[in-house]
Structure 1
Amino acid sequence: MSDNQSKVKANGIALIPFLVFVGIYLGAGIYLDKVKHAEMAFYQLPAPVAAFAGIVVAFFLLKGTINEKFESFVEGCGNSDIIIMCVIYLLAGAFAAVSKAMGGVDSTVNLGLTLIPVQYITAGLFVIAGFISIATGTSVGAIAALGPIAVGVATKAGLSMPLTLAAVCGGAMFGDNLSVISDTTIAATRTQGCEMRDKFRVNIFIAAPAAIITIVLLLIFGHPTTIPAMQAYDYNLIKVLPYIFVLVLALAGMNVFAVLTGGIVLSGAIGLIYGNLGFLTFGQQIFEGFKGMIDIFILSMLTGGLANMVTKAGGIQFLLDGIQKVIKGKKSAEIGIAALVSLTDAAVANNTVAIIINGPIAKELCEKYKVDPRRSASLLDTFSCVFQGLIPYGAQMLILLSFTKGAVSPGQVIPLLWYQQLLVVSAIISIFVPFADGIIKKTPWNWEEKITQ
């Protein structure tokens, strides 16, 4: 992309289709929220539909014949990184669906509740949410699984309900940020052209300090007023194994397709052995997982095509020229990447969409200012997850608060989202004090082998 980009003249008009996409998506959310008072307002209009509107505008607005523009669009849709990203989405969705169907999520939650002493339950909920989110690749899934349990435990133990909910949300975003099968990780690493395990190694040094301090704070301020009687929770260690299998092998550097396929087979085999799945239902759950990723699959392809059209017309170059007026070096480039993805997530309330939108811009800034792509992938994922876990209209917060039936408001929970707040501090410090760049120093990025997009 960068080689072609240098030959393209900057053209601000070429950004209009992209702005139409974001504007329709954002405008529909605001309208449905403020005027229609719809539940999950920012998720009512599917993002691919808004992207399609931007593509239609691009065909009318950008120069060239219909055939030329169509070829440019299809070229972007078929970009190897886009296709790889989409295939990984499908496999990750299948793994999550099969593992949940065979009882993996329930066993993981119950195992955590069994092992963690009740007097430390608030901090324990943070840890459990983090593990479920890392294992399944979805913060929303972790919140949906653990939220009702957390509300029940908080009521029985006399815990602060807002603090308990904040602990669950913080843990879920911690896991989402680090999971090797999260759609945010997939999008961040594929758009930046780096490996998931390398992004994890950079990211963990940023996230771990924030998580450790959060756990300490929860241990201090999250004591229950009454110690509820221990309950017997049913769990099966064998059903937790597929999550550990996928996490360990992915971090060991095994090919992600092999890892996820192995995880699907292992989860399916366990489900067949324990009777949770039959051969037919095993296949159906794989397809259910595929279907659960259709929105993000289509969005990735459409935005890939739209981005290629906008890039060839000079839109990205125009944006880069403007950004570079305020960026003076590597550190300010990293701040720029963090700011762009944060603002986009706050606008569209979807961290994966925010990464997909800003990925190409971040990649250009990396090449211009020699920011290591492993670093930029970490920044994209980290800051998008921070704001996704803070905004009151995000899916995470909306689902979490729904379990309280209106008893708790976003204003009560947001000030207690200590993990997200500490993660921002840790990430900003890491820009100026490179304590998270151990792997980067050991294996510097080879800029002679650029991965084009």
Structure 2
Amino acid sequence: MSEKKKGSIIGLMPLIVFLTLYLATGFVSGSFDNMPLMIGISIACFVAFLLQKPGEEKVSFTDKVTIFCKGGGDDTLILMVIIFLLAGAFYSVANNMHAVDSIVNIGLTILPTRMLLPGLFLIGCVLSFSMGTSMGTVSALMPVAVDLAAKTGVNVALIGGVVVGSAMFGDNLSFISDTTIAATRTQEVSMKDKFRANFLMVLPAVIINLVLLSFVPMGKEVAAQVYDFNVINILPYAVIIVLSLIGMNVIPVMGLGILSGLVIGMMHGDFNLLESLGILHEGMTWMEDMSLIAVLVGGMVALMKYFGGIDYLLEKLTNKTKSARGGELSIAALVSLLDISTTNNTISIIAAGPIARNIADAQGIDRRRVASILDLFSSAFNGLLPYAGQLLVAGGLAGISPTAIMPYVWYCLLMLASGVLFIVIGFPKQFGSSK
């Protein structure tokens, strides 16, 4: 019989140092902005390079560099970097060819002032469900949200929270989302069945969020009127939605959205061909910090995993599971802590999936329900982490700290509450029991 792989809390030291330093700086200084994420992550990476396995042969610095580079070059992270760059380019093009103004003014024309925030949330839900990516949704809607905040006087951090929350709706539920694919494959269930169980779990969160948003007062009262807009200018957004609905990959979807914006902008005389190159470059440079942070985090997590940090989490969360309800709570805690550690909900689901399946089989939990729990909790936490991609992009496009947006991602907070409630009450029964 093979010996069970042992974890070590020493492997979690980079994460512990980062969180301690980040939180301590924020509380002592009164502002989390005083600890730039790049510096905090760099310090944590330095700690990761100091790690050694107790009682085992010393790992050379060269080997650690190799591990770090492989982690930072993970295909999922490189895809995230590409999406970061495309997000910046799309925002820059949409802003310069007035797509943002047009779509905001259409919303202001159609929706009464009190319904602007619920309307923005629903638009984001439809878009993220269609695209299957929270990153693409944030990049497409955040510029609209920033302009909407300026026109209505709504706190830009609050409206950013609306966008991030709506983005995580689709990340959690979309049929083409990486998290859905990972959750259903690791649990060997169909996407349709997982969606049915998952949607019931988040439906209360959606309804409560819409009600809460409808009561948020506008800083400026927007009189009912027809605002100037050009329907042609919203074509880049239409391209993204339509192509996403037919199942095209997010990379060509974003690329065609950018291309359509460039063509329309040049046709309307907003910029010429040479100027468009500068616009694309400017947008991409806005995302350089976020891209580098993603690579650094990937490398740090690889070292944490090598030195037993991730296995330590798995050990502590799964060794005392004795009932279906306890099993479900353990699965939720496991994938949540993995996501907090890795800032990647897809990787978290892949790592937790096999263990979650074993717990489900041992405790008689329906795997469709397990797939829903894995996706729900990992997506919710990914929308709440100030060092994860969604809040990094939202903060970068809004020009504010990701931590300023975090308290306003109400939908993700409601997802967590709804998920715990459904585990405790064991509903819906047809998707597994909770003893």
Structures share fold, TM-score greater than 0.5: yes
CA distance in 1, matches of 2:201, 2:242: 20
Alignment of 1:120-199 (within 5 A): 121-128=113-120, 130-131=122-123, 134=127, 136-138=137-139, 141-151=143-153, 168=159, 171-178=162-169
CA distance in 2, matches of 1:52, 1:8: 29
SS of residue paired to 1:253: coil
Distance 1:174 1:70, change over 3 A: closer
CA distance in 1, matches of 2:216, 2:23: 37
- The one-character-per-residue Cα deviations of 1:369-415 (angstroms, maximum 9, x if unpaired) are 12766753443222443687xxxx99989x99x9xxxxxxx9xxx8x
Q: Which amino acid aligns with 2:114?
A: T
Deviation of the 1:53 alpha carbon = 1.3
Deviation of the 1:65 alpha carbon = 0.9
CA distance in 1, matches of 2:304, 2:409: 38
Aligned position for 1:428: 420
TM-score normalised according to structure 1 size: 0.68
Aligned position for 1:440: none
Identity over the aligned pairs, expressed in percent?
27
1:81 aligned onto 2:76: yes
> Which ranges of structure 1 fall in alignment gaps of 5 or more residues?
1-5, 34-40, 153-163, 345-353, 403-409, 438-453
The count of aligned residue pairs is 378
Q: Which amino acid aligns with 1:376?
A: L
SS of residue paired to 2:383: helix
- The one-character-per-residue Cα deviations of 1:32-75 (angstroms, maximum 9, x if unpaired) are 32xxxxxxx32343323222212222222324111111111111
The equivalent position to 2:36 in structure 1, one of 46, 54, 57, is: 46
Aligned position for 1:363: 350
Aligned position for 2:22: 25
CA distance in 2, matches of 1:324, 1:311: 17
> Which ranges of structure 2 fall in alignment gaps of 5 or more residues?
53-57, 128-135, 186-190, 358-366
Aligned position for 2:133: none
CA distance in 2, matches of 1:87, 1:190: 20
- The one-character-per-residue Cα deviations of 1:240-279 (angstroms, maximum 9, x if unpaired) are 2211321332243212211111111011111111222322
Aligned position for 1:114: 109
Does the aligned pair in 1 maintain the 2:335–2:352 contact within 8 Å? no
CA distance in 2, matches of 1:396, 1:92: 10
Does the aligned pair in 1 maintain the 2:338–2:348 contact within 8 Å? no
CA distance in 2, matches of 1:130, 1:165: 18
CA distance in 2, matches of 1:273, 1:318: 58
Distance 1:246 1:171, change over 3 A: same
Aligned position for 2:7: 10
CA distance in 2, matches of 1:218, 1:58: 42
Does the aligned pair in 1 maintain the 2:146–2:159 contact within 8 Å? no
Deviates further, 261-270 or 422-431: 422-431
Distance 1:356 1:228, change over 3 A: closer
Aligned position for 1:273: 267
CA distance in 1, matches of 2:152, 2:222: 13
Deviation of the 1:114 alpha carbon = 0.6
The equivalent position to 2:295 in structure 1, one of 301, 308, 317, is: 301
Alignment of 1:227-266 (within 5 A): 229-266=223-260
CA distance in 1, matches of 2:328, 2:205: 21
CA distance in 1, matches of 2:348, 2:410: 30
CA distance in 2, matches of 1:166, 1:274: 33
Does the aligned pair in 1 maintain the 2:332–2:374 contact within 8 Å? no
Aligned position for 2:51: 61
Distance 1:25 1:100, change over 3 A: same
Does the aligned pair in 1 maintain the 2:305–2:311 contact within 8 Å? yes
Distance 1:166 1:280, change over 3 A: closer
TM-score normalised according to structure 2 size: 0.70
CA distance in 2, matches of 1:314, 1:420: 29
